[in-house]
Amino acid sequence: MGEFVRLEVTDGIGTIRLERPPVNALNTQVQEELRAAAHAAAADASVRAVVVHGAGKHFAAGADITEFTSVTYQEMVARVHALSGAFDTVARIPKPVVAAITGYALGGGCELALACDWRVIAEDAKLGQPEIKLGLIPGAGGTQRLARLIGPAKAKDLIFSGRMVDSAEALRIGLADRVVPAAEVYAAAVDLVRQYTTGPALALRAAKQAVDGGLNGDLASGLALESHLFAGLFATDDRLEGTTAFVEKRAPEFTGR
C-alpha cells in the first residue's frame, strides 16, 4: 500500500504493518500512510478485525524528532491536527483493533498503541510518553487516551516524568492487556481478535461506538447513544439470526449484515 505502512489481509484479520527500520519512527509520510491503511481496513468488508504491528525489533519508537528541530510554531499549527488525526483514524476503525508491541512503544508509538482497543506486549517491551524531556507534551492523543485508560493520576506520573514502564508495570496499571514472550506477540494478538472474525460485525461496530462515544460525554448522553445503537441493530440480519438461533438452541451463523 505505502512505502512504510502496509495492510495485509488473512482469514478476516487485517494487519497494519509499520516497516521503517530501524525503529519505525513516525515521520509525516508514515503518519499519512497509516491514515490510508486505517481507512482501507475500515472500508474492506473482508476485514473483520485488525492488528497493528511494528515490523522488526520495535513497535514504534516515537516521532521522527529530526522533523521537529527546525519546525516553526506557525508550521506546527498547520500540521498538528493531521498528526493527531492519523491516530484518530486508527481509533475510529469500526472493528476490534489490537496493537502487537515488541521493543519500544514510545511517544507517538505509545499514542498509536493507545488508539487501539487492546495492547498485547512483549515481556521486554518498554512503553512511555517521553515528550516532556524534549520540552513538549504528547500531541497525538497521549494526554487524553492515556488518562482515560489508566486514570489521571497515573497518566500524569508517566507524562510529567517522561519515564518508561516495563511490561509488569504496564500490565498492573492497565496499559497492557496481555504480556507474552517477544516471539509470540503477533500470534497472541491475532489469537485475541480471531474470535471476532465470525461475530456480528454490525453489533461489534455499535458496541465499540457506544463505549468510545460514551466516554466523551456525560452519562445521560452515553445512555442515549447506547439506546439509539441498540434499537438500530433490530434492522440487521445478524440480530434476527442471533435471536432465532438462541430460541432454536443452536449456534448462530452471523454474516455481518
Residue 145: what residue type?
R
- Cα–chain center distance at 15: 12
Q: Would you state the pLDDT for residue 73?
A: 86
Q: Would you state the pLDDT for residue 159?
A: 98
Q: Clarify whether 131 is annotated catalytic.
A: yes
Angle in degrees, CA 12, 14, 18, rounded to 5? 165
The model's pTM: 0.93
What secondary structure does DSSP assign to 169-224, as a single string? HHHHHTS-SEEE-GGGHHHHHHHHHHGGGGS-HHHHHHHHHHHHHHTTS-HHHHHH
Which residue is associated with the grid cell 454490525?
Answer: 202
Q: Would you state the pLDDT for residue 216?
A: 85
List of domains in the chain: 5-197 (3.90.226.10), 200-247 (1.10.12.10)
Q: DSSP label at 92?
A: T
Residue 80 has pLDDT above 90, yes or no: no
How much is the average pLDDT of 149-155?
97
Residue 67 has pLDDT above 80, yes or no: no
Calpha distance 50→55 (Å, rounded) = 15
Calpha distance 42→50 (Å, rounded) = 9
Q: Clarify whether 3 is annotated catalytic.
A: no
Residues 177-218: pLDDT tens digits? 999 999 999 999 999 999 999 999 999 999 999 999 999 889
Residue 69 has pLDDT above 90, yes or no: no
Where residue 66 falls among pLDDT bands split at 50, 70, 90? confident
CB 60 within 8 A of CB 20: no
Where residue 149 falls among pLDDT bands split at 50, 70, 90? very high
Q: Which of 33, 75, 111, 241 is catalytic?
A: 111
